[in-house]
Amino acid sequence: MSADQTKPSGRSSVDPFVVMDVMREANRLEATGRSIMHLEVGQPGAPTPENVRAVATEALNAGPLAYTDALGLPSLRARIARYYAEHHSVSVDPERVVVTAGSSAAFILTFLACFEAGERVAVPEPGYPAYRNTLRALGCDPVSIPVGPETGWALTPNLIDAAEAKHGRLKGVLVASPSNPTGAMLTGPQMAALVRHNEAADRWFLSDEIYHRITYGQPDVSALEAGDEAIVINSFSKYYCMTGWRLGWAIVPERLVRPIERLAQNLFISPPTLSQIAAEQAFDETTCLDENVAVYAENRRLLLEELPKAGITSFAPADGAFYLYADVSHLTDDSSAFCAAMLEEAGVAATPGADFDPTHGHQYVRFSFAGKTEDMGEAVRRLKTWLGS
Ligand SMILES: Cc1ncc(COP(=O)(O)O)c(C=O)c1O
């Protein structure tokens, strides 16, 4: 077979995840002895709660860690369903809970179960880049809808209608609240309006709720509060500090359960067993996990107070998650070069906006404040010197 015939497929030619490249460069500099403040990584600095690790250790020693049901351990599915009753006053049948290898696998499974190749799915821009890249890899057609300060950084029914008029029939809409990178959150009425609007248009509505419980005053509304038709995706990665355990979940309408089960059986066999056993404990660790959120809140306060003194003054709302999406258009028209120089010259790593928004992201930088408060203070000190303010 010639190299021409065995070239990589077109659908594998998705964009790289730039934050990973920034991380690699930051780590390389650190390995040479440089001190680097990590405001690029979108993961908690705090360890997985001790009791969760203890449950995992016990299970590891007891072994064997066999496959579980493709949809997950029944006890974990029931515990996740109970979380919706406790936190959102919503009744969810455990049969509708799908446990997955991180929310990333939940996106693959739900996209495959909902969309044919070639169908259009709307995603907000700026937004988490893997939405469009995963959709593309699966042969779907992501349609980016720009959101910004004028719309409160949120998708609205009007914006969806306008996108459909411009691009043609949309088969699905995906939102994230709180959003990565902006931290913007949908209110109850905004969420309900989106659920109703998409239901009326016979469109799948997917709500990424992976930053739930990391909020700074505004309630984290679940799309399930507006009915059973929404597809909700969540994860143990962020609030629960379990990124590397690779565990997430989806709540899906009943008619999707069996199709997703068939896909999950074939694509993944089962989610990671050890992580599933440990994750059940995570729901009982809210006291220590809320202490992490208090640290993020303090980091957020510090950055919002101090970054303007360094000359970075304009931010998306940051009502939830642990990111500040900053407008740096008065400082650069190329935030990738700006971030590269900031890393090299000031030793502060942050992510250029182009990762999240190919159209306007060159004027934005995302700062993650999931790390230590003292690192935030040091980062700001360095930026003040670097920017000469
Ligand atoms: C908005 C959003 N959704 C989904 C994910 C994927 O997370 P995981 O696969 O670890 O659950 C991330 C990770 O950063 C994210 O920011």
Residue 365 pLDDT grade (very low, low, confident, very high; cuts 50, 70, 90): very high
Residue 171 has pLDDT above 60, yes or no: yes
Please give the mean pLDDT across all residues of the chain: 95
Annotated domain spans of the chain: 8-48+287-386, 50-283
**pTM score, whole prediction:** 0.95
How far does the centroid of ligand 1 lie from the alpha carbon of residue 89, in Å?
25
At 367, is the secondary structure helix, strand, or coil?
strand
Instruction: Report the distance separating Cα 309 and Cα 110, nearest Å.
Output: 44
Across 161-169, average pLDDT = 97
Cα 30 to Cα 45, 94, 369, distances in angstroms: 17, 46, 19
How far does the centroid of ligand 1 lie from the alpha carbon of residue 102, in Å?
8
Closest-lying ligand 1 atom to the alpha carbon of residue 235 = 11
Residue 1 has pLDDT above 70, yes or no: no
Across 105-132, average pLDDT = 97
Would the CB of 176 count as within 6 Å of ligand 1? yes
Mutate to test the pocket of ligand 1, among 237, 246, 368 (most ligand atoms within 8 A of CB): 237
Higher pLDDT, 208 or 7: 208
Residue 16 pLDDT grade (very low, low, confident, very high; cuts 50, 70, 90): confident
Per-residue confidence (pLDDT) for residue 3, from 0 to 100: 67
* CATH architecture assignment, domain 8-48+287-386: 3-Layer(aba) Sandwich (3.40)
Residue (of 329, 317, 322) closest to 360 by Cα position? 329
Per-residue confidence (pLDDT) for residue 348, from 0 to 100: 97
Query: Rounded to the nearest 10 degrees, what angle do helices 286-306 and 373-386 cross at?
Result: 20
Across 67-77, average pLDDT = 98
| CA dihedral angle for residue 341, residue 347, residue 348, residue 351, rounded to 10 degrees | 50
Instruction: Report the distance separating Cα 46 and Cα 207, nearest Å.
Output: 26
- Asked if domains 8-48+287-386 and 50-283 share a fold, the reply is yes
Per-residue confidence (pLDDT) for residue 256, from 0 to 100: 98
Per-residue confidence (pLDDT) for residue 12, from 0 to 100: 87
| Sheet strands (E) in the chain | 37-38, 97-100, 120-125, 141-146, 170-176, 204-208, 231-235, 248-251, 314-315, 323-327, 348-349, 351-352, 364-368
Residue 140 has pLDDT above 80, yes or no: yes
Tokens 């720009």 -> residue: 146
How far does the centroid of ligand 1 lie from the alpha carbon of residue 42, in Å?
9
Cα 380 to Cα 229, 306, 324, 350, distances in angstroms: 44, 7, 13, 12
What does the block give as tokens for 352?
A: 């250029």
- Matching CATH number, 50-283, of 3.40.50.970, 3.40.640.10, 3.30.70.260, 3.10.180.10: 3.40.640.10
How far does the centroid of ligand 1 lie from the alpha carbon of residue 370, in Å?
14
How far does the centroid of ligand 1 lie from the alpha carbon of residue 260, in Å?
20
Residue 235 pLDDT grade (very low, low, confident, very high; cuts 50, 70, 90): very high
pLDDT tens per residue, range 368-379? 999 999 999 999
pLDDT tens per residue, range 184-232? 999 999 999 999 999 999 999 999 999 999 999 999 999 999 999 999 9
Residue 37 has pLDDT above 60, yes or no: yes
Instruction: Report the distance separating Cα 109 and Cα 106, nearest Å.
Output: 5
Would the CB of 103 count as within 6 Å of ligand 1? yes
pLDDT tens per residue, range 76-94? 999 999 999 999 999 999 9
Would the CB of 180 count as within 6 Å of ligand 1? yes
Residue 2 has pLDDT above 70, yes or no: no
* Percent of the chain whose predicted confidence (pLDDT) is above 90: 90
Query: Rounded to the nearest 10 degrees, what angle do helices 254-267 and 102-114 cross at?
Result: 120
Would the CB of 128 count as within 6 Å of ligand 1? yes
Cα 326 to Cα 7, 311, 351, distances in angstroms: 40, 11, 11
Closest-lying ligand 1 atom to the alpha carbon of residue 246 = 10
pLDDT tens per residue, range 326-347? 999 999 999 999 999 999 999 9
Residue 139 has pLDDT above 60, yes or no: yes
Per-residue confidence (pLDDT) for residue 18, from 0 to 100: 76
pLDDT tens per residue, range 269-304? 999 999 999 999 999 999 999 999 999 999 999 999
Residue 22 pLDDT grade (very low, low, confident, very high; cuts 50, 70, 90): confident
